[in-house]
Structure formats: structure tokens, C-alpha cells
Chain A
């Protein structure tokens, strides 16, 4: 059974960089039939797709965040990561990693999700 687990800082100061890693078990991220993505959820914005990456390193991002976000993959560790720069209070949310159930639509439906990690942006 595929499992995803986020690990992150919990608290980030305004203007700093948020970094979260997703560790995948029960399957390899180096498969040709899936993208691996990030979604966040806040009371203000609801669910918001951040972006996704193919194991080859090709990434797609939400245009609203593209100037501040980078998603990378480390196939040797079976992990992928999210980096969000210059954070503000508006970036406070639960961040989920997920497997995208498509090999050709980076932002397709997501069939496996991590439990989520709450990141608060505050000084």
C-alpha cells in the first residue's frame, strides 16, 4: 500500500523560506505512470494546488505561486520536496503531498495523500 508522509518545520517566520519533504513508502516515485504533487488547504483559500513533479525532474506549478515555489525530487531517497520562498501569513495552511493519478496531466486527480502538515507563518 502506497503511503506518503510529510515532514516540515511547523513554524516559519515571515519573509523566510518554507521547506517540506514528502517520503514515499510502498512504491517508487521513479515510475512512469504518475506525477507527485503538493496541495495546501486553509480556511481562507480552501484547497489550492501548488504544483507537481515527474520523477525525471519536470515540474509544473500553479501560476499564482510559480515565482516563489520549487518542487524537486530525490529518487535515491524516494522523496520529493516543496520549497516556498518569501512566505507571508497568507501561506499559513495544512500542506499535503499526493500522488497524481496520471502520467500526462500534472494536475490531475490525486489518489494517494499524505496526512498533511500544518505550517504556520508567524514571527
Chain B
């Protein structure tokens, strides 16, 4: 199965700063079928991005996804207080679907 490695494990930033999160796959993700989720404590994951770069309905445009093949990135251009959370990537181009271990974005 495809192993997704997210880095860094924790990102300590201040509101207004730019966040760059990486998700690297152990093999090429078919059709760039890569999704991103945000999760806050005690809540379910919130769907952000599919197909590596397609924002879900209601996701602000400061959040963007990019990448292809084995290297994918989630960028938050200017961190808002509500953006501090854990972010997960998921690949669904290769069976079985797998998730990364998460990157925590915390307030510095």
C-alpha cells in the first residue's frame, strides 16, 4: 500500500504567517487523487481539497493545494486563528486508500 509521509510533524507559526505542509507518497498517486483534511480537537476531519488542488465548497481561497506524482503541498497563505489544527492528506488513487500521519499547525 502507498505510505504517505507528512512533514513537518509540527509547524509553529504566528497568525498572518504562511504555512507550507508537505505530503510525500511512497509511490506515484494515480490521477493525483490526493485529498486534504483539517481536524480540530474533538471534531471529525473537515474536507478541504480533492484531486490535489480542487477546493471544497466553502473553503477559503487562502487554503490551496498543489503537487503531482509523489509530492504534494497544502499552503495556507495567511494563517487565521481558525486555521490552527491538524492537517491530514489522503491518497485514493491506489487501493487501498491511505492517510498520512498528520501535521499539527500550532500557534507560536
Contacts and interface: CB of A to CB of B under 8 A. Distances in A.
A and B interact physically: yes
A73 B35 CA distance: 26
Nearest to B54: A109
Given A47-B90, A64-B96, A105 B44 contact: no
Contacts of B44: 96, 98, 113-116
A67 B47 CA distance: 29
Contacts of A115: 43-44
| Size category, B interface | 20 to 34
B97 A107 contact: yes
Given A109-B50, A111-B47, A46 B96 contact: no
A105 B56 CA distance: 17
B43 A110 contact: no
B72 interface: no
Nearest to B100: A46
A50 to B, nearest CB: 10
A109 B47 contact: yes
B47 A101 contact: yes
Contacts of B47: 101, 109-113
A114 B50 CA distance: 19
Contacts of B102: 46
A63 interface: yes
Contact of B96 (A63, A96, A101, A114): A63
Interface of A: 46-49, 62-64, 96, 98, 101, 105, 107-116
Given A96-B44, A107-B96, A115-B43, 15 more contacts: A46-B88, A46-B99, A47-B90, A49-B96, A49-B98, A62-B96, A101-B47, A107-B95, A108-B35, A109-B92, A110-B47, A112-B47, A113-B45, A114-B44, A116-B44
20 contacts: A46-B100, A46-B102, A47-B99, A48-B99, A49-B98, A62-B96, A63-B96, A101-B50, A105-B33, A107-B92, A108-B97, A109-B47, A109-B50, A110-B45, A111-B47, A111-B50, A111-B56, A112-B47, A113-B46, A114-B44
